[in-house]
Amino acid sequence: MNPLQAISSQGKLGKLQPNNPFVLDWIQKTADLVQPENIFWCDGSEEEKAYLMEQAVKQGVLIPLDQKKWPGCHYHHSNPNDVARVEQCTYICTRRQKEAGPTNNWMEPKAMRQKLQALLQGSMKGRTLFVIPYLMGPSGSRLSKVGVELTDSIYVVLNMRIMARMGKVAWDHLGNSEDFNRGTHTVLDCNPERRFISHFPEENEIISVGSGYGGNALLGKKCLALRIASYLGRDEGWLAEHMLVLCVQDPEGRKTYVAAAFPSACGKTNFAMMIPPHSYKGWKITTIGDDIAWMKPAPDGRLHAINPENGYFGVAPGTNLKSNPNAMKTIARDTIFTNVARTPDGDVWWEGKDNPPPADLIDWKGKPWDPRSGEKAAHPNSRFTSPMKNNPALAVEADDPQGVPISAIIFGGRRATTMPLVFQAFSWFHGVFVGASMGSETTAAAVGSVGQVRRDPMAMLPFCGYNMGQYFDHWMEMRRHIEILPRIFHVNWFRKDGAGRFCWPGFGENMRVLEWIIGRCHGQKDAREKSIGWVPRFDDMNLKGMEEMTRERFDEMMKIDPEEWRNELVLQNELFLKLYHELPKEMIYQRELLVARL
C-alpha cells in the first residue's frame, strides 16, 4: 500500500485515486508538508455531493435553506474579513520581474515558496485534504485544461464541483500526462496578514493561502482560467479573457456569437442571459459563458471560443426578475448563496431583489438586521454559485468541444461620462487599442475603494498573468493567425446625463445595441465615422417603443465631448507610461492617430 492510501479516508467515498505518477508524486510531497489527517479523493458523483453537503451542514459551514422554496440550496457566510478578491495579496512569481510587469505584484519564486512553505508546514494537521481533479472546458476539447486543487475547505470543494467539471472526467482527460495545473489551497486561520494568492506561471502552479473567498480560493476560476491561462495562451497562441460569450439568434435563425469583456460586477452575467424586449419577436439570446472565454484560431480561419467553466459565480445584489429573469431561474435550485441576507426560516434576500426585505432578516454577518441602521443586509459582493445547466437560456453549444466562432468582441467599462453608448473600432489594431485603453469605475468585487475610475485594460488588469505590455503585443500578433477577424466594439451602459440619471435603461434594452453590432458584423447596419470610431446615428438603431429616447437624449448619450476626451487621453497615458518599455509600437501609433483625429 502506498502511504497516500494509508491516509486516505476510511469510508466508501473519497477514493478515486489516479495512477498518474506525476499527480501521485506531487500530492505525496504536499501531504508530507501539510500533514493532513485524511485525504479525500473527490470523484464528482452525486453520492459524494450528498455526503459532503451533509458534512458541511454538520460542521456549520453550510446552512440548508427552506427546501420547498429553495430545493437543494444552501447558505454560507464567510469570515467578514474575507469577502472579495484581494489584489494587494495577489502575486505573479516569475523568475524575472519584467515578466510579471508593472501592473502585477511580483515576488521571486524561491522567496515566495520559502514564505509559503513556512505557512503550509503542518497546516492541515487534524484536517482533511480534499483532492479535486477538474477539467476547465468541455470534455474532448483541444482547448480544455486539467487542474488539480488540493484544499482543506469543504466549502471550496462544494463550489468547485459547481464551477468546473469535476472527477473522473479530469483524470481521463489527463491520462498519464504531466500537463496539469497544480493548485494548493488552505484557509489557515483566515488572517489577512497571512493571505497570499500566488501564481507560478512558469511551473503552471498556484498556491493560495489565508482566504476562502471564491476568486482567491476556487483555483480553477481567476487563478487558472485567467492568470495562468493567459500566460499559457501567449506561449501556445490563444487568448484567455475575462469575457462572457453569448449567441444571438435572429428571426431567420442565423446565429452570431459575441464575446464581451466588462470588469467585475459590471453586468456580464446579466448581459450573457439577456432576454430581448417584447418588440424583438423571433430573436433569442443564449448563454455560452458569463465570465471567462478561451479563444483560439480554428482551421476554419475563425476565432473559436469555449467557456472553461461549468457554473456561475454571480453577484447577488441587483439580481431580480427584471434585471435578469434567467438568473433568478438558474439560482432557484442547487445553489450556494454566500454572504446574502437570510431569514430564520430559510429564505434569502439581498438589496435589489424583487420583494421588500422580509421581517427578521439576518444580515450577512449573522446579526439581526435593522433596516434603519443604514447598513446593507447583504454584502455588496455577496454571491450565488449555480450550475450552468440550470440556466433556461443555456446555449446548446456550451458543451461543444469545437467552441463557437466569434463575430464580435465588445469591450465595456462603467463610465458616468465620456464614453458613448457604443462605437465600433476602425480595425483590429484600433480595436486592441480601444480595449487596452479602457477605463472603468471600481466595484465591490475587489477589496478597496468603490467608484473610482481606473484603467482596466480589456477588463484584465487584475487577471493578466504576465506583462501587460506583452499582452497587448500578443493581441496584436493574433491578427496574423485569424483569417476572418471579429469586429471590435466598445459599449458603456452607465453614462449619466446632466441630472445624474442613466442615459440608457440597460438590461434587456441592450438588445438594441447588440442588434446594431450584429448588423455591423454582417454589413447590414449603417454608421457614421467619428474621431473615436464608427458610431450609430439615431436612425441606425432600432429604438422603436422607447418613447423617452428622443433625438436630443440620444445625441447627449452619444456625445464626444472634447474636454472629457482631453482628460481621457491624459488618464490613458498614465497606464501607457507605466508600460512604456513593453508597449507595442502599434499602440503608440494608434494613440497618435486618435490624438490627431480628436
The contact set with ligand OXD (CB under 6 A) reads 85, 214-215, 264, 291, 313, 445
Name which of ligand OXD, Mn ion, none residue 313 binds, using a CB cut-off of 5 to 8 Å depending on partner kind.
ligand OXD
Name which of Mn ion, ligand OXD, none residue 536 binds, using a CB cut-off of 5 to 8 Å depending on partner kind.
none
Q: Map grid coordinates 468541444 to a residue.
A: 401
Q: Cβ distance 429 to 478 under 8 Å?
A: no
Give me the least distance between CB of 313 and ligand OXD, in Å please: 5
Give me the least distance between CB of 33 and ligand OXD, in Å please: 29
Name which of Mn ion, ligand OXD, none residue 304 binds, using a CB cut-off of 5 to 8 Å depending on partner kind.
none
Nearer to ligand OXD, 243 or 306 (CB): 243
Nearer to ligand OXD, 48 or 456 (CB): 456
Q: Cβ distance 78 to 382 under 8 Å?
A: no
Burial of 105 (0-12, 13-18, 19+ CB in 10 A): middle
Compute the distance between CA of residue 197 and CA of residue 91 in angstroms, rounded to an integer.
Answer: 6
Q: Using the rule CB under 5 A, is 586 a contact of Mn ion?
A: no
Name which of ligand OXD, Mn ion, none residue 215 binds, using a CB cut-off of 5 to 8 Å depending on partner kind.
ligand OXD
Nearest residue (beta carbon) to Mn ion: 291
Give me the least distance between CB of 291 and Mn ion, in Å please: 4
Q: Using the rule CB under 5 A, is 291 a contact of Mn ion?
A: yes
Name which of ligand OXD, Mn ion, none residue 85 binds, using a CB cut-off of 5 to 8 Å depending on partner kind.
ligand OXD
Cα–Cα–Cα angle for 26, 29, 34, rounded to 5 degrees: 120
Number of residues that bind Mn ion (CB under 5 A): 2
C-alpha cell at 269: 452575467
- The pairing of strands 383-387 and 311-315 is antiparallel
Compute the distance between CA of residue 348 and CA of residue 380 in angstroms, rounded to an integer.
Answer: 14
30: amino acid identity, one letter: T
**In Å, how far are 238, 245, 407 from 482, measured between CA atoms?**
11, 18, 12
What is the Cα gyration radius of the chain? 24
Nearer to ligand OXD, 264 or 270 (CB): 264
Nearer to Mn ion, 291 or 473 (CB): 291
Tell me the backbone φ, ψ of residue 565, rounded to 5 degrees: -75, -30
| DSSP helix/strand/coil, 103 | coil
Q: Using the rule CB under 5 A, is 290 a contact of Mn ion?
A: no
Q: Is 542 left (phi over 0), alpha (psi -120 to 50) or beta?
A: beta
- Give the x/- contact pattern for Mn ion in 229-258, rule: CB under 5 A: ------------------------------
Residues constituting the chain: 598
Contact residues for 260 (Cβ-Cβ < 8 A; gap 6+): 243, 244, 245, 246, 268, 271, 409, 410, 411, 412, 491
Give me the least distance between CB of 90 and ligand OXD, in Å please: 12
Name which of ligand OXD, Mn ion, none residue 94 binds, using a CB cut-off of 5 to 8 Å depending on partner kind.
none
Contact residues for 596 (Cβ-Cβ < 8 A; gap 6+): none
C-alpha cell at 322: 427584471
* Residue of 181, 216, 230, 264 that binds Mn ion (CB under 5 A): 264
Give me the least distance between CB of 146 and ligand OXD, in Å please: 22
Give me the least distance between CB of 273 and Mn ion, in Å please: 15
Compute the distance between CA of residue 474 and CA of residue 470 in angstroms, rounded to an integer.
Answer: 6
Active site residue 73: no
- Among residues 42, 223, 266, 521, the one annotated as catalytic is 266
Nearer to ligand OXD, 214 or 584 (CB): 214
Give me the least distance between CB of 194 and Mn ion, in Å please: 25
Region binding Mn ion by CB under 5 A among candidate stretches 186-194, 288-296, 371-379, 405-413: 288-296
Please choose, from the candidates 290, 210, 303, the residue with its C-alpha nearest in 3D space to the C-alpha of residue 242: 290
Nearest residue (beta carbon) to ligand OXD: 264
Question: Which residues are at the interface with Mn ion (CB under 5 A)?
Answer: 264, 291
Catalytic residues: 266
